[in-house]
C-alpha cells in the first residue's frame, strides 16, 4: 500500500498548526485538489471531537467524493483521519492519515503520515503518481496557510477551531 511520511519544523506553535489541520471546512481554500468539503456529523467523545466529512477532490476530468472519519485529539495534539471502519468510499479502498504536532525550539515539529489504497489497479495507474506528488505538497500547503492566517511571527487572532472549542 503506498504511503508517505514527513516531519517538518515550522515557526508556529503546536496549537496553531493543530487548529489549521482541525479546521477542515477551510481545506478547499488552500489544499491541493480539494474542491469541496462538508462536515456531515460532529460529536464529542470525551476530550476528543469526531467528525464525518465528505471531501470532493478533482484534477482535470477526474472528480471523486469520499467520506472521512476525522478524530481531533486536543490533549495529544493529534489528528487522525481515514476511511470510516468497514466502508469503502470514493476512489479509495483504504485511506489513513495522521498529523502530530510537537513543541520544538522556535516553533513545532509537524509530522504527517498517509497511506492509501485505490479501489482499482486502473485508478492506481492513472492517478497514483499524481496523488503521491500532491501528498508531498500537503505539509507545504499547511505551512503557507499558517503564514497567511498567523503571519510570520505566529501571532494571530482566535482561529475557527479555537472558537469551536471555546478557547
C-alpha closest to that of 18 among 66, 76, 69: 76
Q: Judge whether 160 lies within some domain.
A: no
Q: Judge whether 161 lies within some domain.
A: no
Q: What's the confidence (pLDDT) of residue 160?
A: 42
Q: What's the confidence (pLDDT) of residue 153?
A: 61
Q: What's the confidence (pLDDT) of residue 17?
A: 96
Q: Judge whether 7 lies within some domain.
A: yes
Q: Report the domain count for the chain.
A: 1
Q: Judge whether 167 lies within some domain.
A: no
The 8 Å CB, 24+ separation contacts for 72-76 are 72/22, 72/48, 72/161, 73/47, 73/48, 74/18, 74/47, 74/48, 74/49, 74/165, 75/47, 76/100
Q: What's the confidence (pLDDT) of residue 30?
A: 95
Question: Is residue 153 helix, strand or coil?
Answer: coil
Q: Judge whether 165 lies within some domain.
A: no
Domain boundaries, position 38: 3-154
Q: What's the confidence (pLDDT) of residue 59?
A: 76
Q: What's the confidence (pLDDT) of residue 125?
A: 66
The enclosing domain of 73 has a CATH number of 3.30.530.20
Q: Judge whether 127 lies within some domain.
A: yes
pLDDT means per 10 residues in the chain (167 residues)? 86 96 96 93 93 88 88 96 80 87 95 85 68 74 93 56 41
Q: What's the confidence (pLDDT) of residue 28?
A: 96
Q: Judge whether 89 lies within some domain.
A: yes
Q: What's the confidence (pLDDT) of residue 127?
A: 65
Phi, psi of 158 (to 5 degrees): -60, 140
Amino acid at each position: 500500500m503506498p504511503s508517505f511520511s514527513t516531519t517538518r519544523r515550522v515557526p508556529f506553535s503546536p496549537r496553531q498548526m493543530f487548529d489549521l489541520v482541525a479546521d477542515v471546512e477551510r481545506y478547499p481554500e488552500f489544499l491541493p485538489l480539494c474542491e469541496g468539503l462538508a462536515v456531515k456529523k460532529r460529536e464529542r467523545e470525551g476530550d476528543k471531537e469526531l467528525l464525518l466529512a465528505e471531501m470532493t477532490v478533482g484534477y482535470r476530468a477526474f472528480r471523486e467524493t469520499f467520506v472521512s472519519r476525522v478524530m481531533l485529539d486536543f490533549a495529544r495534539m493529534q489528528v487522525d483521519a481515514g476511511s470510516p471502519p468497514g466502508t469503502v468510499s470514493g476512489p479509495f479502498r483504504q485511506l489513513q492519515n495522521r498529523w502530530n504536532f510537537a513543541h520544538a525550539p522556535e516553533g513545532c515539529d509537524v509530522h504527517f503520515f498517509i497511506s492509501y489504497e485505490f479501489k482499482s489497479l486502473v485508478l492506481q495507474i492513472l492517478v497514483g503518481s499524481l496523488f503521491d506528488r500532491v501528498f508531498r505538497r500537503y505539509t507545504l500547503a499547511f505551512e503557507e496557510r499558517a503564514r497567511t492566517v498567523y503571519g510570520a511571527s505566529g501571532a494571530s487572532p482566535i482561529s475557527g477551531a479555537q472558537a469551536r472549542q471555546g478557547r
